[in-house]
Amino acid sequence: MQNNVNIANINSKFRQDFAIIAGWIPFSGKVLDLGCGDGVLLKFLRDSMEVRGYGVEKDDANWLSCLKNGINVIQMDLEAGLSGFQDQSFDTVILSQTLQAMHHTEDILQEMLRVGKEAIVTFPNFGYWHNRIQVAVAGHMPVSEDLPYQWYDTPNVHLCTIKDFDQFCKNHNIRVLERKVITAGNEIRTLPNLRGALAMYRLKAAA
Amino acid sequence: MSDTIDKSVGVVKAQIAHFDTPIVLKSGETLPQFDLVYETYGTLNADKSNAVLVCHALSGTHHVAGKYAETDKYPGWWDNLVGTGKPLDTNKFFVIGVNNLGGCHGSSGPSSINPATGKQWGATFPVVTVEDWVQSQARLLDYLGVSQLAAVIGGSLGGMQALEWTIAFPQRVRHALVIASAPNLTAQNMAFNEVARQAIMTDPDFYEGDYYSHQTLPCRGLRIARMLWHITYLSDDVMGEKFGRKLRNDIKYSFDVEFEMESYLRYQGDKFAGEFDANTYLRMTRALDYYDPALAFGGDLGAALKSAQAKFLVVSFTSDWRFSPERSKEIVQALLDNELSVSYAEVTAAHGHDAFLMTDKHYHDILRAYLHKVEV
């Protein structure tokens, strides 16, 4: 399911991860973006893919930004699950760079695959060499563009590596339809767990 | 936006629209003719595309904003929302407030004169429903030359009317703002209404609803009904904060007013009993009880909303236990099932159900941002 993304319609700064996500969703599909922040991804997908999108966001300020961005946004806490959303009622459910901040990791992935025909999950790869060196050599917790927090103020509670997540999917009966790994906007094909900063997965519940 | 100074709509005047074409009510009864009292703020544009209908709740009126005279102590009941620079900006919108059928502020109701008899309707005024109100409001729009509303907005029972608008007249409403509302009442919520009605109907001065001809009013009943309503629309926290266990004076070991909370409730009860009609109160609570658009669809609210086309903003308040966030989420789910455009905000607020009438920055920012996007 490769789609041509209409970049001409896009005003926001080009983001490789957004473009990959756009390539993984059906044109004019029904999309749910969990932890949608200020709604820029949904706005991008609406302008480029004409999706019928809804965001889910807990934070008041972000929620208001979504509204101002013209995004449909539902205020709720993802940790409580997705009750209220019907089974298989969305083409794609997206969790973009939010997984690592979730307490109920297993629950949210199960919920995503219940509500969506497919799911897209992206997260900062803790196995990225830059992170490894900071711990192993410099001896401190990694701080980077993808992991911008100090250890004491980070919302991230479940950091993982690509290898960890692959194993997680295997253990939880989740089919990985596609996986892409990017660093500074470039796709990484060799040694992704070492060289990749951001991991992106297209998932489906195993039949 | 923040540079704009919020301004009141100033001195306003109520108007009356008379309707000679009979209206058949949901109960099967017919009103051969009726009056609706209403107010408008702002100017209807040339395209007649900027009208917003404000639906009132249990004890609301058509007097949404402004004052009748500069010397009035209080402005209209939702004055914090309507005016220049306010969320419902009267520079952009033509805002309509209407007193519902069965009301007691100038629209046809139990305390108004039945033209057929020349006497007050009293108990003979029919039981009216949310659906009836929406039908009669549509007549008012016809009268004002408004074929389609830019938006309909309401809180609580008013939110039910906003929801009903999108079901009954999908073509006539572009946006619906459903605030602190529910798709129907829970048993507990209806139970409060029943206690309120029993308080009124067992008052010896009620006379089966014909107290007007006995030159009396069931004030005691209405007073208790209002006290009960007040308890349920505040949160435990806000009552605790406002009154706590504060005493008026030293404990007297009596049944007079001992605690501040009692004094407040009695004051509110007395004030209300002096200015509201008991028969109207009965009908308003009944309209709340009966509203259940999903009923005709086997309880499937999504099916009830199948015809709806409007875009929605649904807002609830965390401490509202009479119209809890869970009930608003049911509306949101039904809208999602129909792939309608909907945003939902759960506002953190301490004031319980009452929060929808309060000035809260985030709440008003939400309404302002949403209404700013409404095209006229």
Which residue ranges make up each domain of chain A? Answer: 7-205
A10, pLDDT greater than 50? no
Q: What is the mean pLDDT of residues A117-123?
A: 97
| Alpha-carbon gap: A58 to the closest alpha carbon of chain B (Å) | 9
Q: What's the confidence (pLDDT) of residue B373?
A: 96
* Closest alpha carbon to B370 in B327, B317, B332, B315: B315
* Cβ–Cβ below 8 Å for A74 and B342: yes
List of chain A residues whose C-beta atoms are within 8 Å of the C-beta of residue B348 = 60
**Where does the pLDDT of residue A5 fall: very low under 50, low under 70, confident under 90, or very high at 90 and above?**
very low
Q: What's the confidence (pLDDT) of residue A8?
A: 40
**Where does the pLDDT of residue A27 fall: very low under 50, low under 70, confident under 90, or very high at 90 and above?**
very high
Q: Report the distance separating Cα B163 and Cα B159, nearest Å.
A: 6
Q: How many residues does chain A have?
A: 207
Q: What's the confidence (pLDDT) of residue A1?
A: 40
* Cβ–Cβ below 8 Å for B339 and A76: no
Give, in order, the Cα–Cα distances in Å from B284 to each of B39, B70, B101, B280, B348. 20, 31, 10, 6, 28
More confident residue, A80 or B2: A80
When mean pLDDT is compared across A7-16, A36-45, B23-32, the lowest value belongs to A7-16
pLDDT along chain B (376 residues), means of 10: 72 97 97 98 98 96 97 96 97 98 97 95 97 98 98 98 98 98 97 98 97 95 96 92 94 94 95 95 98 98 98 97 96 95 97 95 98 96
List of chain B residues whose C-beta atoms are within 8 Å of the C-beta of residue A76 = 329, 344, 346
Q: What's the confidence (pLDDT) of residue A191?
A: 93
Furthest-apart CA pair in chain A: how many Å? 48
- CATH class for the domain made up of A7-205: alpha beta
| Alpha-carbon gap: A67 to the closest alpha carbon of chain B (Å) | 7
A21, pLDDT greater than 60? yes
Q: Report the distance separating Cα B144 and Cα B159, nearest Å.
A: 22
- Scan for tokens 């997206």, then name that residue: A94
List b or e across B227-241, with b for residues whose CB sees 16 or more CB atoms inside 10 angstroms.
bbbbebbbbeebbee
Q: What's the confidence (pLDDT) of residue A14?
A: 66
Check CB contact of B326 with chain A, cutoff 8 Å: no
Q: What's the confidence (pLDDT) of residue B173?
A: 98
By C-alpha distance, the chain B residue nearest A72 is B343
CB neighbours of B23 closer than 8 A, spacing ≥ 6? Answer: B30, B31, B34, B101, B132, B135, B136, B139
Check CB contact of A70 with chain B, cutoff 8 Å: yes
Token digits for B292? 């259940």
Candidates B89, B320, B354, B360; catalytic one = B320
Q: What's the confidence (pLDDT) of residue A145?
A: 82
Kind of pairing, strands A198-205 and A116-124?
Answer: antiparallel
Check CB contact of B332 with chain A, cutoff 8 Å: yes
Q: What's the confidence (pLDDT) of residue A3?
A: 46
* B320: annotated active-site residue: yes
* Closest alpha carbon to B172 in B181, B157, B162: B162
Q: What's the confidence (pLDDT) of residue B5?
A: 72
Backbone φ and ψ of B247, nearest 5°:
-95, 150
- Show the beta-strand stretches assigned E in chain B: 15-19, 23-24, 30-31, 34-41, 51-55, 82-83, 88-89, 94-98, 113-114, 119-120, 151-155, 175-179, 311-317, 342-347
List of chain B residues whose C-beta atoms are within 8 Å of the C-beta of residue A86 = 333, 336-337
Check CB contact of A141 with chain B, cutoff 8 Å: no
Which residues pair with residue B172 across a beta bridge? Answer: none
Give, in order, the Cα–Cα distances in Å from A104 to each of A81, A111, A149, B369. 9, 11, 21, 32
Q: What's the confidence (pLDDT) of residue A84?
A: 84
Option in A30, A70, A74 nearest B344 (CB): A74
Q: What is the mean pLDDT of residues A19-44?
A: 96
